[in-house]
Structures are given as C-alpha cells and as structure tokens.
A and B are shown apart, each in its own frame.
Chain A
Amino acid sequence: AQSVTQLDSQVPVFEEAPVELRCNYSSSVSVYLFWYVQYPNQGLQLLLKYLSGSTLVKGINGFEAEFNKSQTSFHLRKPSVHISDTAEYFCAVSETDKLIFGTGTRLQVFP
C-alpha cells in the first residue's frame, strides 16, 4: 500500500520569506501526487497535482511543487509567503480509487 510522509508537522515563517513543505511517498510504480490546503474551519482545496509530464507543477496562489522520482519526493514551495497562506497543507498520493493523505503540515506565517 502507498504511504505519504510529511516530515514537518509545523513550519513557522515570516511574511515574504520563501517556504518549502516536504513530502515523501512510498511507491515503485507510477503515481499521481497532490497537494491540498485546508484553511481554518474549511474543507480541503486542491492546490496542485502531478499526473505526468513536466516535473515542475504550478498551482494556485503562487505555489509550485517538484516531482522527484529518484528521491520519491514532491515538495511544495512558494518564493514569498503571505499571512493569508497560514493553513494546513496535505500531501496525497492516489491509489487506485482513493487518495492516501499525509498527516499534514501546519504553515504559520508571521508578520
């Protein structure tokens, strides 16, 4: 079975600083990878997804992620964060008919 590891449970960062949220997955076969964001008191919203093709995927709100097959990673990055980016971020991998999620990373942006 697939699994997803998000090593950082919390990432504090100052506004306008760059940020990277790490995600590693376990799989030796082709995978589809996703990042979801959950704002306070909200459901999950898709940020971006990797299906095939270019390993650099651009999503909404200025986020991007890079698929690295050799390192089985799919880290999420943003060059300059805003206060409004404060949220929980979930990495997920698809398995047949369902999504397998990581435990989430809480991004806290300080002014």
Chain B
Amino acid sequence: ETGVTQTPRHLVMGMTNKKSLKCEQHLGHNAMYWYKQSAKKPLELMFVYSLEERVENNSVPSRFSPECPNSSHLFLHLHTLQPEDSALYLCASSQGLTIVGNTEAFFGQGTRLTVV
C-alpha cells in the first residue's frame, strides 16, 4: 500500500461510453499526475497538477479530461475513447512539483482500461 488508491482496478467500456477514473492520495502531497502505460512503450506523462492547478498537458487528446477538485483527489474523465486507448492508467503523487531531492513519486496500482 503506497498511500495512493485508484478505482476502479479494471474497466471495460465501449467507444460511446463515458466513464471516470478516480485517484485518491492520503499522503498530504500537493502534486498529482496521470500516466499512461501501454505495452512495449515508455510510461507517458499525461497530466500534472500542482496545488489543484493543471501545470502540464502533454498533447493529450480532448477525449481525456482531468479534474482535480482538491489536493487529495484526481479524476480522469473518459468519453468516446478508441481501442488504442486501452492501457494501464497510473496515478502518482509527490510533495512538491519537482521530482528531485528528497521528493519521491508514489504510484497507485493503476486502472486497467479496455476499450471495446
């Protein structure tokens, strides 16, 4: 248990569905991240939030919409996804935006998303 909880663990959705992924951290961190993990590819950073404000969006398609209502919660809203969006979506948090020094990124267990 890393202190970062993601729900659901598994999700199967059709291309016309709308669903949301949830991430919650109990570590008092002020930065949260969404990563996409696809087979044979490096982890891709999708979004970065610091103090509930989005600070980075790595050219992610608009069918992915993040929301950070407070420093403990992060959502990823999904709509009209494509089969190639099937992947493991990992949430992470850290104390401080820069992942250096004594700062460490703590990851959740991920949500395995399958788009059919």
Contacts and interface: CB of A to CB of B under 8 A. Distances in A.
Interface of A: 4, 9, 32, 36, 41-46, 49, 51, 90, 94, 96-104
Contacts of B109: 41-43
B82 interface: no
Given A43-B109, A45-B107, A51 B100 contact: yes
Contacts of A49: 104
A108 B65 CA distance: 37
B53 interface: no
B100 A94 contact: yes
A101 B99 contact: no
5 contacts: A4-B42, A43-B90, A45-B2, A97-B48, A97-B55
Given A41-B109, A43-B90, A43-B107, A103 B41 contact: yes
Contacts, number: 56
Nearest to A98: B45
B99 A44 contact: no
A97 B77 CA distance: 23
Size class of the B contact interface (CB-based, 8 Å): 20 to 34
Contacts of B105: 44, 46, 99
Which of A43, A44, A102 has most chain B Cβ within 10 Å?
A43
A2 to B, nearest CB: 11
B42 A102 contact: yes
Contacts of B33: 98
A51 B104 CA distance: 12
Contacts of B98: 94, 96-97
B108 interface: yes
B67 to A, nearest CB: 20
Given A98-B45, A100-B42, A102-B42, A43 B100 contact: no
